[in-house]
Amino acid sequence: MTEEATAGAQANQAVRERLLAEGLRLFTSKGYAGTTVREIVEAAGVTKPVLYYYFNSKEGIYLELMEGAYTIFGERMRELVGKSGSARDRMEILCLGIFDAFLEFIDVARLIYAIYFGPAQGAPQFEHDQAFDWMLDAVRTVVAEGIASGEFRPGDPADMTWVIIGCLNVCMEEQLCRNDPRINRDDTKRMLALILDGISRGDAK
Amino acid sequence: MTEEATAGAQANQAVRERLLAEGLRLFTSKGYAGTTVREIVEAAGVTKPVLYYYFNSKEGIYLELMEGAYTIFGERMRELVGKSGSARDRMEILCLGIFDAFLEFIDVARLIYAIYFGPAQGAPQFEHDQAFDWMLDAVRTVVAEGIASGEFRPGDPADMTWVIIGCLNVCMEEQLCRNDPRINRDDTKRMLALILDGISRGDAK
DNA sequence: ATTTATATACCTACCGGTAAGTACACCTAT
DNA sequence: ATAGGTGTACTTACCGGTAGGTATATAAAT
């Protein structure tokens, strides 16, 4: 493969990536129906048939963005699961890891949330619950192990799981919905500690 | 006023209410940009200029729906605030009351959430944070009084508030996003109790 | 020469909005 | 009692603009 071939392949990818980046930005800020193909291609600096060349349709680029978003979060979840240590430590690593991933890929996250809560608006169907369910399963696993090991109190693992998820969820949502979020990572850590203090065994303060 | 006049006034309201009801349904399920004036009026059984007659524009009906939604929740919040009893009892009444209001007006709630998380999509600007902020202030007030009275532990009232809000929030969101919510009112009550057990003074179990 | 990537020009269908008209109720003047 | 005027509620037909998508030509890469 010559250097020319590499440059050509890279030019391909550059156009494609530009379209995806602009598509992500615009779908996120305007929604599926509110975003036109014209504005995506104009932002990417190409003409309209180029989008159809690479993605076949408006739906095509949208679905590719969705698949990419879920892939990113799935990989990050896998990295965060399977750590070792006390249940409390692992919970902290897991939740703050999720929070950090959220911030790192906040545009992607915003798109996922927008789809999850937002109206369908003619967008093609996609399995929407996956990212949330991954999170739920991971937290539930750590809770169950904490109860089994005696580190957390006996109780309903589902309740504990949902309280933790609720806390993490509201912290993440705050990052999405405000230019000046009222909750940061340290707040999240403290709030998590408050919950874990409450469900830990040997809590006699 | 004759009976004919009453019937005429009622016919007015019937058309107007039909447009609002169909508008709510469609904006909620399809979003602002994804909903056309044509489908609203068709669903309401009138012609397009009728919508412009009553609401001046597509924006007009949307804004009227949004104002109505916030009015409903604001009134319900006022009813729930100002109850008396222990901080714990009041917190339970407040949170479960919010949850109940949410279920009662779930279409309205769905629209508010869709707007809050969903993309702007060309919809007219509206102050979106109000319902959430009402909730936050109400919970914060009860938390602060619980700490002051010694019922809750000394601690950061903001942390406690947000943990409670996060829990309530995720329970409500679950009602929105699934045909078969995994959390019901009793679950919500139990989870709230788990948190309140954890932050209560005298918790030595 | 062939394949791939891109541009120009165009298509049909649909968008929000509006002008003009109609039906009806009510009021006032004759 | 009747005619004319006014206002409200609604319809039909239409407007200019734009949506997603495509045929064809051209440029670039191999």
Using CA atoms, how far apart are residues B30 and B45, in angstroms rounded to an integer? 19
Output B170 or A126, whichever has higher pLDDT: B170
Q: Which residue of A has its CA nearest to B120?
A: A30
Chain A residues with CB-CB distance to B155 below 8 A: 194
Give the residue whose CA sits closest to D29 at C1': A8
**pLDDT bracket for residue A98 (50, 70, 90):** very high
Q: Which CATH superfamily is domain A1-56 in?
A: Homeodomain-like (1.10.10.60)
Question: What is the value of ipTM here, to two decimals?
Answer: 0.81
Of B27, B156, B177, the CB nearest to A117: B177
CATH class of the domain at B65-199: mainly alpha
Output A160 or B12, whichever has higher pLDDT: A160
Residues of chain A with CATH 1.10.10.60: 1-56
The architecture that CATH gives domain A64-199 is Orthogonal Bundle (1.10)
Looking at residue A142, its pLDDT comes to: 93
Looking at residue A9, its pLDDT comes to: 53
Size of interface A-B (CB pairs under 8 A): 156
In the predicted model, what is the mean pLDDT of chain B?
85
Query: Which pLDDT tens digit goes with each residue over B22-65?
Result: 999 998 888 888 899 999 999 999 999 999 999 999 999 998 99
A55 membership: H or E segment, kind and range: helix A48-55
- Measured in degrees and rounded to the nearest 5, phi and psi for residue A204 equal -130, 30
Residues 121-140 of B with CB under 8 A from A: 121-122, 129
Residues whose C-beta lies under 7 Å from strand D = A 2, 4-5, 7-9, 11, 35-38, 48-49, 52, 57-59; B 8, 11-12, 15, 46-50, 53-54
Q: Which residue of B has its CA nearest to A178?
A: B129
Across A83-87, B40-44, B181-185, least confident range: A83-87
Task: Give the N- to C-terminal CA distance of chain B in Å, as an integer.
Answer: 69
Using CA atoms, how far apart are residues A47 and A63, in angstroms rounded to an integer? 20
